Amino acid sequence: MCCFSGNVRSVNDTKIFARLTSPEEQAIAYSMSLDTPEDVAMILPIPVIPGSKEDSVKFIDLSGYQKLFADLNDGFPAPKSRYANAAGSLFFSEKKAAPLKVQNVGSFEASFVPTIKDFARLDKRFKLPDGTWEKIPVYKDFGFAVFKLKKGKLKVHPMAFTFPSSFAAKGRLFFPTVHIHDGKIHRLEDFDHQLFAQTWSGAGLRSKEGWRESPELASKFTKPKQSKGLIWSDGHVYLREVRGRQTNRDIVAQAVRI
């Protein structure tokens, strides 16, 4: 999802890894290249289990495994691509409230916002205008992972975390892919995403939905120990590439028995 708290010149090389780690938990890793004239925050809505506490999202420092997505890509004979996508400005309003915790995770700061109303407690650098999320009903029960990124031209090392997922029990993997520019969601947007996924033993993702399965186990082309448990070494990896003009929405994959 492209949602930033300030001016961003361009975003490209978006790559997302999602894994079902248990019937109640999902992991996400997110990477991109960014060009911004100022420090900005990126916000990722996530379908948390209602009532999730502030410490229920666990951020993972992958600064020691910056080649995560390069390794994942090595499992597939697919060429890499580049596409610049300009993102709009979303300026934040301020409210007086007790602040949410901000954690240092590698080269950036991260926070978990349990509900929309808790944005009032977040550091003012990370806030959206009042009423922004209320205009997007699908996110009314979501939580939000927020990352503060430094200004300049950056290749951001993977931002990773686990969260209690309301989708996981039904075998559904969530990918935050909606584009939001200038506080608005347009019906169509240009996509250039690589989505990587893992499910669990005996389950996979359908090829008819665009998913390809790696010929080898993840241990053959990734470094599971460096991923700090993010990657399941004995499982296959699935890849879906989403490119061109697409309906502007998040992507949900359904794991099935194979």
Which tens digit of pLDDT belongs to each residue from 40-99?
A: 888 899 999 999 998 999 999 998 999 999 999 999 975 555 443 433 333 333 344 455
In sequence order, which residues have a C-beta less than 8 Å from that of residue 82 and are 6 or more positions away?
Answer: 12, 13, 192
- Percent of the chain's residues with pLDDT above 90: 49
The whole-chain average pLDDT of the chain stands at: 83
222: which 2 tokens? 């990734």
What pLDDT is stored for residue 11 in this prediction? 77
What pLDDT is stored for residue 246 in this prediction? 87
Window from 122-136, 197-211, 219-233 with minimum mean pLDDT: 122-136
What pLDDT is stored for residue 125 in this prediction? 65
Q: How far apart are CA 241 and CA 243, in angstroms?
A: 6
pLDDT at 134 over 90: no
Q: How far apart are CA 116 and CA 114, in angstroms?
A: 7
Distances (CA, A) of 255 to 39, 172, 219: 38, 6, 21
pLDDT at 211 over 90: yes
What pLDDT is stored for residue 253 in this prediction? 96
pTM of the model: 0.85
Q: How far apart are CA 173 and CA 175, in angstroms?
A: 7
Window from 29-33, 99-103, 209-213, 214-218 with minimum mean pLDDT: 99-103
Domain 8-257 has CATH 2.40.50: no
Q: Where are the domains of the chain?
A: 8-257
Q: What is the DSSP string of 198-223?
A: E--TTEE--GGGT-EE-SS-GGGTS-
What pLDDT is stored for residue 154 in this prediction? 76
How much is the average pLDDT of 244-249? 86
In sequence order, which residues have a C-beta less than 8 Å from that of residue 20 and are 6 or more positions away?
Answer: 26, 165, 168, 171, 173, 198, 199, 200, 255
